[in-house]
Structure 1
Amino acid sequence: MTLNPRLIALCITLFLASALITLSLKSTHHTNTWLPSVRPGDKAPPTQLQRPLNAPKVAYATFLAANANPDAKPTDEESEAINDEDDGYFLGTRVLAYQLLHSRTAGTNNSIPFLVMCTEDVSKRKRNRLKKDGATIVLVQKLEAEWVNPANGRWRDVLAKLRLFQLTEYSKILFVDADTLVTKPLDGVFYDEATLTQATSANPAQIKDDEAALPRTYMFATHGDFWGYEHPYPPDANLDYLNCGFFVFTPSKVLFEYYLSLLKLPGRFDPGFPEQNLLNYAHRRDGNMPWKPLWYGWNVNWPTENDWRGGARSFHAKYWDGDPSHDPLLKAIWREQRAEMEGFYTGRDLALGGH
């Protein structure tokens, strides 16, 4: 049988065209960001990444100081004996770690680390427990200023939160207070438009000679304080006073030094809410580094069932205490999360041979 030369030429042409198309596809930018899907149970190849190449390094974070509860047990061993019921912030931190790292309904889908910034007087037992829970412990020294006297004793060490701005190995950090209920994943907050880097303004009327220099750029995004449960959902977007129980920022040594300079100026801000009022002054809406509003659904302070039914993802309130003003539905959800957390860690500790 004699082969038709035209047919042979057509086959060669089609082969060359197919090879050229394949080579073209492999050389496009898509190879930098495309990630093959992996079924549950499959072992990912060593080269596979959780995020695209050159993705920013982000983290969740909270703050934990020594137990400031006036009813705290005299020793850490006595506190452990009552399952740490006297230390609500420690319990809240454990629940938050479970929600962000392990919960099937609220946990991170991108293996984002959870940092717990601890003052040095947080007991080693509690720090080790949080490590076992999956948290990354960041031990820090306290920040103090003689003229800063908080309105409540449990806020005596909160200025140490500002040391988060020294963690410049991260491009973005979401700070979440330990007294927060999370019901849906928060990973998307790092892509919120408000978390884009901003150029610092240079309005001379807002530049003070006794304050340190401002950074050339910054990022500080949060939401306003409602000051009560009587608020609509969606809430009013025109709020000037920020609540620092939930905020996203870019760490900056220059910005940290600026904050330190404010602590050296008695009366520059109201010390009743130490770190919150410092940040309100530093990022005032008419200043050179105004805070940017996040999407209202990421977090609600003074939360109600209406906020939850409206689609909010996290809720700021101390659900471990007996405050009758707390929304009963949200408090019940937090207690369920606590029970789920305890069951999860008990089972895992037993499987690992722990106690």
Structure 2
Amino acid sequence: MRMGSIARRGLALTSPLVIAGCAGAQSALAPQGPQAEQLARLFWIMTAGGAAVFVIVAIFVAVALYAPARLRERLADDAMVFAGGVIFPVVTLSALLIYNFTLLGRGPEARESGDRIDIRVTGERWWWRVAYVLPDGSRVETANELRVPVGRSVDLHLTSADVIHSFWAPSLAGKLDMFPGRETTMRLVADKAGVSRGQCAEYCGGPHAMMAFNVVAMAPGDYMQWLRGQTETARAPQDASAGEGQKHFTTSGCGVCHTIRGTTSVGLLGPDLTHVGSRLAIGAGVLPVDQASIAGWIVDNQHVKPGNKMPAYATLDAGKVAAISAYLAGLR
């Protein structure tokens, strides 16, 4: 088989994979906000510039190898070497660098309409603690999910509780590292409603690859309604099974690590579960929120997410697990 044929077949096989990486819930090339649009534009400009330089160099290589002797001699002239080896790269790279600084130096546009939105995000091994700062200065805490109103500037105050993490929501902004004992701030804006995915982008040990989060951009009215709901205490059990689950949750020691506001469970080591049933995922993006997934997580979370800091409760009988999962799934 000729090399040209092999190359064409290879390109045909790999192109769908490359194109598939340009879209999806966690793609920097599917921007949903002005910061991500700037980064995507910069990527395509740099890619086009690199491709143009490659083509030019390839042409000169072909000339040097296959052109008539007189043309090759002209290519080897000192002036041509200086122009192609010094002037061309200096001008090209300087232009791209200046464009980079000009594009990214502007930063995100501030869009204010009402009270400023402040959200504090703390990276922990291996999940995200998210606290919404209310206008009166109080906070309401959730976990592993970030909700923002469309068209409003949101200031994220980022820090870490243990090791260096990195907050990265590719569809909305670039990544920003999170350091223990230090707070950094990121401003972002979501231009349209929808769900995208974020990830810890700095290796932090253990199940780092499974330290993800969902970003839910909502219409401003829906966001305010959701936020008001988050300030309320936990929903009372709606049936006998959930009532039993609440009792077993307390007696099994779950409240030592988890908070459920309005109950005696006030633990701070793990995620706040007051409204866990209204989230999109548990385990930092590992499983969807439903009764079966919650039950599986309780019994065998170390198989689902090896190395996470929650112990598996394999000693609980099936009836207790079913009741606890029914209770948690109902916390909306």
How high is the TM-score relative to the length of structure 1? 0.24
Larger Rg: 2
Higher relative contact order (CA 8 A, sep 6+): 1
| More helix by percentage | 2
Q: Which has the higher strand share?
A: 2
TM-score by length of 2: 0.26
